[in-house]
Structure formats: C-alpha cells, structure tokens
C-alpha cells in the first residue's frame, strides 16, 4: 500500500497568527514597503500621464492620429485590446476553473491574478471604446430601443457580441474578486490599529463576523460565481476570435481560432502572473506562500498552453497549404517572407522555441530564467496579434489595394500608457489590499497540518482515517 508523496503549498513554520501577520502586514504596516515600490509606482504614474495626453489628443483630433489606414483599418488599437484581454484570462482560470477542479495550489495566487484580470480588462476596454471615434455615444452599442434611439445594434456582428462578452466578464470578475475579499477585509479590520483604517475596512467587510451562516452563504455565493466565471474563460476570448474568424480575410478565417485564442490568452496570462509574482514574493518576503511549487506549476501550465498555441501555428501553415486556395497560400508566404517576416520569425522564436526550455526541471527552478521566458511570451503574444491583425489586412485579394501598416507616435504612446496604468493599479492594489487570500491560506495550512499529522500517525498502517477531510470545513470558524 502506498500513497503519492504530498505536495506542500505553504512553506516554513506557520500558525494562524503568523499567516494573518505576514500577509496583513503589507497592507497595515505602510512602512514595510521597499523603496522599489515608490520608484516603480512613480514611473508608472508618469506613463499614466502619457496615456492621458494620448487620449485627450485623440478625442480632440480623432482616430486619424493613429497609424491605421486603408487597407489596415485595425492596428494597435485592436492588437492591444486582444493582448490585454488575453492577459486577464489567467486570473479567471486560476480563480474559477482551478477552484472547480479543487486544485489547492490556486489559493495563494488567485487574489493577485484576479486583480490582474480586472486591471487588464480595464486597459483592454479603452481601446475599442476609443476606436469607435466617438466614445461619448458608446451607449449606441446597447439595445436601448428602436423607439428612443431610432436604431438597433447589428446582433449578427461579433463586435456587438464583444460588448456583451467583455462587459459581463468585467462585472463577474469584479464581483468574484470583491466577494472573495470580504472575509479578509474583516481580518484587516480586526487587526488594524488606526481608526480610519478600521472604519474603511469595516465598511468593506459589510458586517462580516465569521458566523457559520456567513460562511455558508459565502461558500455558496463563491461557488456560483466560480460556475459563472468558468464559461467566461472560454467564451470571452472565443468571441474575440470570432471578430476575425467569421470574416473571410485569409489569415483570419480559420476554424481553429476559438480554442487557439483561448489557449493563447491563458498563455499570456500566466506569463504576466509569473512576471508579477516572481519579484513581488521576493520584495514582500512571501516565499512561504507563493512557493517554489507554485512557480513550477505555473511554468508547466504556461508550457502546456504555449504548446497548444504552437500547434495552432503549425495548423495554420499546414492547412494554408492544404486548402489549395491561392489567397491562403499567398497569406502564408507573405507572413514568412513578406515585409513583416522578421516579426513572424520573432513570434515563432518567442512563443514557440524559447518556452521549450521549460521542459527542463532545472530551468523551472531558476527564477531569473522563468522571468525572462515570461517576457518572451508576453512579447510573443503581442507579436501574434500583430501578425494576425495588420499583417493579414495589409495585403488582401487585390494587389492594387495593398499597403503597409506603421504605428504612429500616438499609437505607441497609448500602448505604453496602458502598461503604466496597469502597473500603477497593480502597485496600488498590493499596497492597499491583501494580495494573498488570508483565510484560504489558513484553511490550506490547517489541511496540510492534518495531512502531515495523519501521515506520522499511521506509517504503514493502511488507509488513512479520514477525520481530517471532514473537519477542515468546520474549523474555519476558529480560524477567524
């Protein structure tokens, strides 16, 4: 008789109190922040000013300040929209899908990743909104009524589906995040020494006292929200992929697009989680909670989704040829040897070749290496959208209407600006909200304790008596 070796997701010697203290400290003790926080925040804040300038100028002059043209009517705006939305996906996958799959390793990274989702969706949402040219009439996208507006959205257009998919995604993600925060707000309220902090967290905690009834309602609500979020992981990026796939542009119109986009989104999202988690856990000494095991598993998920994406690239090339269609073959040739060929080959390098290093366990234990690979993936996923969007558009069916796409200064300013916005929001989040789920860590710690205890008690004595599994839920009360 044997059991698989247990995985430990909390390191060091912990107690309920030490978990509260170590995670809560980051918020409650504002002096604990390293100087790097201020430096990064200041730089990000500067970039937000660039974003503000770019948006103001855009509103004043119109979308003509961007590099989009005929035939490339979609450029940085849509590339960055898809890129940001994709980055958000890891958050939903970690918090909802892994919860339903009962994967305990999600517990220390979910809060963090959910915050990332919300800020990434905010960045993403700006682009199509501003691309309409008249964001002040965005309500025209809603089916407000033919009698009041004199018009009706074209519901056969995936662009309209996008509006609903993304706004639902934003709403559900924000709700999920907030509901998950409530018990932790209560912990912070109880631990805070400052009166104002107590009042603020007290209001956010919405009267949480940790009674059995509270926990029961909480667990139900959380599970329902997870169930709602799970299809969103698939649907949002599938609908984004329909924006392209339902058209008949070579390079856009291929049936693998929905799953290939979803895998790409999760790929980019995990790269971003790793990009943020690796420095954060070092700066805030949270290596006991975001353990080496977590980094290892995230790297594995990144590798797996990266392989799906690479599979998509192979299919595109093979079926481009197999179709026997002149335009499809020309599109593949143009990608590989046309004016944007260096971008295509950089894409293959960044997304297809470099991440293969993650097969090696040693690389998955070397954090600088994972950090660098994550950057490659982030850049690669951006290049993928670049290859799909303007490179497919700039040479279509008629050679007489071919053109080139070159982003303008304002395109780049706005892109850099949203990166600044994202970093600024993440840094504010880390400073003012608990970045790791405190009560889930306590629950996980208790389970780990009991499992270890049981292991010591019954060495070689057959199946483990299961008092532990049943007890775990009830002891949450005490944990508060």
Q: Which residues bind other proteins (CB under 8 A)?
A: 1-5, 234, 238, 242, 245-248, 253-259, 307, 311, 314-316, 319, 322-325, 359, 462-466, 469-470
Q: How far is the CB of 156 from other proteins (least distance, A)?
A: 8
Cβ-based burial of 175 (10 A; exposed 0-12, middle 13-18, buried ≥19): middle
Complex with other proteins: residue 134 or 333, whichever CB lies closer = 333
Give CA 331 to chain center in angstroms.
31
Q: How far is the CB of 445 from other proteins (least distance, A)?
A: 20
Complex with other proteins: residue 113 or 358, whichever CB lies closer = 358
Task: Please report which residue ranges of 2-34 form alpha helices under DSSP H.
Answer: 16-28
Q: How far is the CB of 448 from other proteins (least distance, A)?
A: 16
Give CA 347 to chain center in angstroms.
20
Give dist(CA 74, CA 77) in Å, integer: 7
Complex with other proteins: residue 115 or 303, whichever CB lies closer = 303
Q: Is the dihedral of CA 119, 125, 130, 136 positive or negative?
A: negative
Complex with other proteins: residue 152 or 318, whichever CB lies closer = 318
Give dist(CA 202, CA 438) in Å, integer: 16
Closest CA to 411 of 387, 386, 393: 386
Contact criterion met (CB below 8 Å) for 442 and 89? no
Complex with other proteins: residue 242 or 386, whichever CB lies closer = 242
Strands (E), 38-87: none
Complex with other proteins: residue 336 or 469, whichever CB lies closer = 469
Contact criterion met (CB below 8 Å) for 154 and 221? no
Complex with other proteins: residue 316 or 384, whichever CB lies closer = 316
Give me the phi and psi of 147, to 5 degrees please: -80, -35
Token readout for 448 is 């780990």
Complex with other proteins: residue 359 or 432, whichever CB lies closer = 359
Closest CA to 296 of 207, 220, 363, 212: 363
Cα 134 to Cα 90, 138, 306: the distances in Å are 31, 7, 37
366 contact partners, CB below 8 Å, separation of at least 6: none
Omega before 142 cis (within 30°)?
no
Q: In whole angstroms, how large is the CA radius of gyration of the chain?
A: 24
Complex with other proteins: residue 21 or 253, whichever CB lies closer = 253
46 contact partners, CB below 8 Å, separation of at least 6: 420
Please report where in the chains the tokens 């107690």 appear, as a residue.
15
Q: How far is the CB of 403 from other proteins (least distance, A)?
A: 24
Q: How far is the CB of 144 from other proteins (least distance, A)?
A: 26
Complex with other proteins: residue 174 or 221, whichever CB lies closer = 221
Please report where in the chains the tokens 């018990």 appear, as a residue.
183
Complex with other proteins: residue 141 or 454, whichever CB lies closer = 454
Give CA 242 to chain center in angstroms.
20
Closest CA to 298 of 272, 265, 262, 279: 272
SS3 464: coil
């Amino acid at each position: 008789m044997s059991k698989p070796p247990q995985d430990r997701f909390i390191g060091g010697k912990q107690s309920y109190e030490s978990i509260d203290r170590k995670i809560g400290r980051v918020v409650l003790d504002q002096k604990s922040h390293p100087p790097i926080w201020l430096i990064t925040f200041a730089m990000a804040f500067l970039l937000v000013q660039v974003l503000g300038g770019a948006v103001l100028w855009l509103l004043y002059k119109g979308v003509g300040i961007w590099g989009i043209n005929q035939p490339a009517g979609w450029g940085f705006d849509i590339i960055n929209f898809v890129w940001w939305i994709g980055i958000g996906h890891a958050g939903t996958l970690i918090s909802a899908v892994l919860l339903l799959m009962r994967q305990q390793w999600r517990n220390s990274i979910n809060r963090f990743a959910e915050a990332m989702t919300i800020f990434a969706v905010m960045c993403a949402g700006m682009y199509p909104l501003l691309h309409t040219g008249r964001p002040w009439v965005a309500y025209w996208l809603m089916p407000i009524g033919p009698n009041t507006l004199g018009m009706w959205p074209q519901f056969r257009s995936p662009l309209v589906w996008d509006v609903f998919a993304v706004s639902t995604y934003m709403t559900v993600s924000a709700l999920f995040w907030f509901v998950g925060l409530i018990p932790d707000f209560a912990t912070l309220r109880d631990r805070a020494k400052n009166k104002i902090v107590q009042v603020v967290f007290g209001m956010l905690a919405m009267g949480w006292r940790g009674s059995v009834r509270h926990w029961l309602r909480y667990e139900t609500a959380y599970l329902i929200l997870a169930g709602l979020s799970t299809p969103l992981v698939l649907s949002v990026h599938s609908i984004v992929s329909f924006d392209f796939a339902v058209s008949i542009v070579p390079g856009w119109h291929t049936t693998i697009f929905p799953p290939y986009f979803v895998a790409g989104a999760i790929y980019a999202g995990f790269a971003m989680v790793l990009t943020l988690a690796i420095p954060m856990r070092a700066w805030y000494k949270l290596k006991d909670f975001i353990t080496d095991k977590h980094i290892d598993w995230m790297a594995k998920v990144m590798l797996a989704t990266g392989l799906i994406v690479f599979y998509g690239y192979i299919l595109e090339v093979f079926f481009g040829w197999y179709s026997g269609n002149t335009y499809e073959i020309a599109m593949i040739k143009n990608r590989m040897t046309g004016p944007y060929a260096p971008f295509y080959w950089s894409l293959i390098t960044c997304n297809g070749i470099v991440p293969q290093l993650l097969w090696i366990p040693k690389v998955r234990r070397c954090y600088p290496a994972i950090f660098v690979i994550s950057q490659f993936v982030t850049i690669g996923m951006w290049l993928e959208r670049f290859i799909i969007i303007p490179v497919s558009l700039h040479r279509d069916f008629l050679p007489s209407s071919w053109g080139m796409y070159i982003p303008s200064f304002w395109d780049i300013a706005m892109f850099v600006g949203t990166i600044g916005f994202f970093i600024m929001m993440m840094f504010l989040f880390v400073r003012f909200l608990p970045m790791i789920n405190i009560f889930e860590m306590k629950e996980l710690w208790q389970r780990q304790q009991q499992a270890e205890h049981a292991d010591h008690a019954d060495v070689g004595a057959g199946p483990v008596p299961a008092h532990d599994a049943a007890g775990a839920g009830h002891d949450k009360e005490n944990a508060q």
